[in-house]
Chains A and B, each alone.
Chain A
């Protein structure tokens, strides 16, 4: 309960980039205006996309489900405000590859009229299944960045969980949305944690928060004191500011000293981790019946005159919030969704804010200049010092560069969390993470290729087996027929006894004729081919024409000979 007595662990590596957080913490959270059009991607989470259940022209109310997550790992999507459904079509969505995906447009009517909604009565006495269902209905997915459906995480059997970790570290520079959320909504967050505790029954709950957020820490502690009696087991744990302490694996290590096993999940060591924003959304859904239709997004960067946090409706185009924050369009050189370490650039301001958009950085040229030219790697090892996953980034770089995928895998490239600490410190300005992404892609491709070639081989083998089987069946049938014929013949022979030479004489020619027919056909084809070749050679005035003519004559002779012998056999 007392943060001063809490034993903290450190994680290897880490960096201390310039924080750039104070720009956006000067003002309280502002509410962004309702834009004229909302663009809502049906896949704002990890897992199967939602299934649109509205069509163009439908009227929708605020909070009404417009796409339903039908798979287990999927999420519902709600109308963030009232209006008319516009087009449902593929548009560019927030994604590092700039891909397009199905989006539902809503032409807002400005009335902001709610659908009937209400929270669960006495939710702290509700059973876990009811609470999980409520979270699932509200379409909540992880709001820290990954966007994993929250109800799926909450469905881990409580017997497996002993620790609940609330990720409030917010370690990336620039981003302050969680900071402001905690300052202004600490009570709701504590109540959200209580809901999660009701579901997961952890023995303890830690809120991990970096020491660069004193006001948020104070707010949380005050809310704890005011809302709960002394028996609660929620600890606000202040951790040193170091990037990437907010990485799930790193935060778990800091707070518990444990490591998530390779290819495992935190639940394997009895831990569930939830982002503080997600916890707030859980409270809103369970206590108030408000689905996830808006989020807090930091709008910052040098090109923004009044950086601030905004409560933004999901689907709001980035251009709308930028305009409200007085962005100078001509000053924006790089537009980043997310933080400067792990966020991705977007190439258009039409892209909408989604459930995972915690920050928009409109960076000027001076702020984030073009990357410096890559110099030679001098193996200085600063990257190794910075890596929080205890990898050897420099070795991985050489392996990736030479496409030595085997060695890259042996050096655990798949454990790279792409935090960017190595690239940040590299004195040679090598874009290391890009190299790793390339190698990871190649490895994935090679695995897929191997899989498909295995499948192809299987298909081929199966086909061969089938052909063999069919041939064998045919053979057996023929044999059976031959045997039957032989028996018939035998009975015939038995009835009118004939000389064996007669039998041979009648049997042999039939075989011969077939053979001769084949020979004629073959000879005919050869003649045709020879004629073709000759014609071609003549057309091109080739010297070989004479030789070809000679060959053709020979083939014709052979053909006539074959035809002759066939006629003889027939007669």
Chain B
């Protein structure tokens, strides 16, 4: 009998990092289904392109770094980055845009910083930001209109064709996003005039917020709620993000004739995806309870500021990246009060 000699604790909960990542991937499914239902198979194809690129890049870098490839691939972090990136990109962006973004996300934003857990910036958003500033045309003209507004939908074959070769037919299906449309028109038109566009209330003019997008956002909200219930992350970041975005929309943008209204801010862009799946990336977020509140609120505020006064159609990526910069500092100044202590330690350790 040889007895194992090891120090406590001896009991551990089963599971590993891979389970966490798979749970998040599972929670993305309703959102991806909704996206495909309203906007065609574009996102599904992008998910495939990004996943293949990400896993390939990850394996290559692991090989170069002389790490066990299978062991690290099984944490599924590269796959999650790929899926998040793919559903953030316009569904009919050319394949090489997706590949460049993924390549950059995995190799530069993740592995050059030391791999999983070491990257200061959200890899998916780094990839997204890179292609957004590098290929603005492809990134703004590849959003499709909701299929309800098109005479014919897009079949799988046509989608593949648009993404991989010919972009001649794309003009027939693309349209500005509702958030973009509202922002561009609010300077010259009133709210009721803007809402004439079927992009908001659909071809049959039934009351809704933003055709298709509202359901997409609700689906991501549902997935986020599932993750909260599974205790994958805490409520702090998503709630403070949504609250700060809502408060600014109410106090600054209360006049929908001059500003984008709160309903569109919450349900027309990438808000819910950002709040529950991007901003909550634990590696790059703040880690203390108070810090998470500040971090989330900061992202919410930056989303509002960039959407309102910036020139980009959506703002989740830049808002998240900017707060990634601040996260380590926030952590230093938001430590909780330890048991038995009168007050919390704030700031850096003092040198003797």
Q: Which residues of A contact B234 (CB under 8 A)?
A: 381, 385
- A363:B10 contact, CB within 8 angstroms: yes
Within 8 A of A (CB), among B292-341: 331, 335-341
Q: A392-B288, A392-B335 are in contact. Are A17 and B17 (CB under 8 A)?
A: no
How far apart sit A429 and B46, CA to CA, in the bound complex (Å)? 33
- The answer to whether the Cβ of B207 comes within 8 Å of any Cβ in the partner chain is no
How far apart sit A260 and B339, CA to CA, in the bound complex (Å)? 8
Q: Which residues of A contact B136 (CB under 8 A)?
A: none
Q: Mark A429-453, 1 if CB is under 8 A from B, else 0.
A: 1010110010000000000000000
- B340:A392 contact, CB within 8 angstroms: no
Contact partner of A389 (CB less than 8 A), chosen from B1, B3, B339, is B339
Within 8 A of B (CB), among A402-422: 406-407, 409-412, 415, 418-420
Classify the interface of chain A: helix, strand, loop or mixed. loop
- The answer to whether the Cβ of B16 comes within 8 Å of any Cβ in the partner chain is yes
Within 8 A of A (CB), among B1-41: 1, 3-13, 15-17, 19-20
- The answer to whether the Cβ of B66 comes within 8 Å of any Cβ in the partner chain is no
Nearest Cβ in chain A — how far from B276, in angstroms? Answer: 15
Within 8 A of B (CB), among A321-346: 329-330, 332-336, 338, 340-346
Q: Which of A49-57, A365-373, A455-463, A465-473 contacts B (4 or more CB under 8 A)?
A: A365-373
- A345:B335 contact, CB within 8 angstroms: no
Contact partner of B10 (CB less than 8 A), chosen from A15, A343, A384, A409, is A343
How far apart sit A366 and B335, CA to CA, in the bound complex (Å)? 39
Q: Which residues of A contact B338 (CB under 8 A)?
A: 262, 389-391, 412, 415
Nearest Cβ in chain A — how far from B210, in angstroms? Answer: 33
Q: A333-B4, A406-B351 are in contact. Are A423 and B12 (CB under 8 A)?
A: yes
- The answer to whether the Cβ of B252 comes within 8 Å of any Cβ in the partner chain is no
- A341:B10 contact, CB within 8 angstroms: yes
Report the nearest B residue to A426, measured CB to CB. B12
- The answer to whether the Cβ of A129 comes within 8 Å of any Cβ in the partner chain is no
Contact partner of B231 (CB less than 8 A), chosen from A262, A382, A419, A424, is A382
Q: Which of A329, A429, A437 has the most CB of B within 10 A?
A: A429
- The answer to whether the Cβ of B172 comes within 8 Å of any Cβ in the partner chain is no
Q: Which residues of B contact A340 (CB under 8 A)?
A: 8-11
Report the nearest A residue to B285, measured CB to CB. A379
- The answer to whether the Cβ of B287 comes within 8 Å of any Cβ in the partner chain is yes
How far apart sit A238 and B115, CA to CA, in the bound complex (Å)? 47
- The answer to whether the Cβ of A524 comes within 8 Å of any Cβ in the partner chain is no
- B1:A329 contact, CB within 8 angstroms: yes
- Number of contact residues on A: which range applies? 35 or more
Within 8 A of B (CB), among A384-405: 384-385, 388-392, 394-395
Q: Which residues of B contact A434 (CB under 8 A)?
A: 7
Nearest Cβ in chain B — how far from A353, in angstroms? Answer: 17
- The answer to whether the Cβ of A98 comes within 8 Å of any Cβ in the partner chain is yes
- The answer to whether the Cβ of B225 comes within 8 Å of any Cβ in the partner chain is no
- The answer to whether the Cβ of A377 comes within 8 Å of any Cβ in the partner chain is yes
Within 8 A of A (CB), among B336-352: 336-342, 345, 348-351
- The answer to whether the Cβ of B77 comes within 8 Å of any Cβ in the partner chain is yes
How far apart sit A373 and B12, CA to CA, in the bound complex (Å)? 13
Q: Mark B207-246, 1 if CB is under 8 A from A, else 0.
A: 0000000000000000000000001111000000000000
Q: A345-B4, A381-B234, A412-B341 are in contact. Are A336 and B10 (CB under 8 A)?
A: yes
- The answer to whether the Cβ of A173 comes within 8 Å of any Cβ in the partner chain is yes
Q: Which residues of B contact A333 (CB under 8 A)?
A: 3-4
Q: A343-B10, A428-B16 are in contact. Are A376 and B1 (CB under 8 A)?
A: no
How far apart sit A109 and B286, CA to CA, in the bound complex (Å)? 66
Nearest Cβ in chain B — how far from A243, in angstroms? Answer: 10
- B3:A346 contact, CB within 8 angstroms: yes
Q: Mark A87-120, 1 if CB is under 8 A from B, else 0.
A: 0000000001010000000000000000000000
Could you give 9 example pairs across A and B, Cβ below 8 Å? A18-B11, A343-B10, A344-B7, A345-B10, A372-B16, A378-B117, A410-B348, A411-B345, A415-B339
